[in-house]
Amino acid sequence: MRYHRNRIANYRETREYDAQRAANQNSLFVGACFLLFAVMATYKEASLATRPKTLDPAEYFNLSPDYRRAEEKRAALRAQLKRQYLQQLNNPHRKELIEDPALTRWTYARTNNNYFRPTAKTSLIGGLFGVLPLFALYLVFKTDRDKREAKIKAGTYERPYKLST
Residue 113 pLDDT more than 90? no
CB-based contacts of 157: which residues, under 8 Å, 6+ apart?
Answer: 148, 151
The answer to whether residues 39 and 55 touch, using CB atoms and an 8 Å cutoff, is yes
pLDDT at 65: 84
- The CA distance from 161 to 129, in Å, is 36
| Closest to 56 measured CA to CA, from 48, 45, 67 | 45
pTM for the model stands at 0.34
Least confident among 6-10, 47-51, 70-74 = 6-10
pLDDT at 68: 83
Q: pLDDT value at position 75? A: 93
List of residues 6+ apart from 88 with CB closer than 8 A: 94, 98
Res 101: pLDDT: 86
pLDDT grade, residue 146 (50/70/90)?
very high
- The residues, any chain, with a CB within 8 Å of residue 122's CB and separated by 6 or more, are 116
- Taking only the tens place, the pLDDT of each residue in 56-112 is 666 667 778 898 899 899 999 999 999 998 999 999 999 988 888 888 999 998 888
Give the span between the Cα atoms of 64 and 68, in whole angstroms: 6
Residue 129: pLDDT band with limits 50, 70, 90: very high
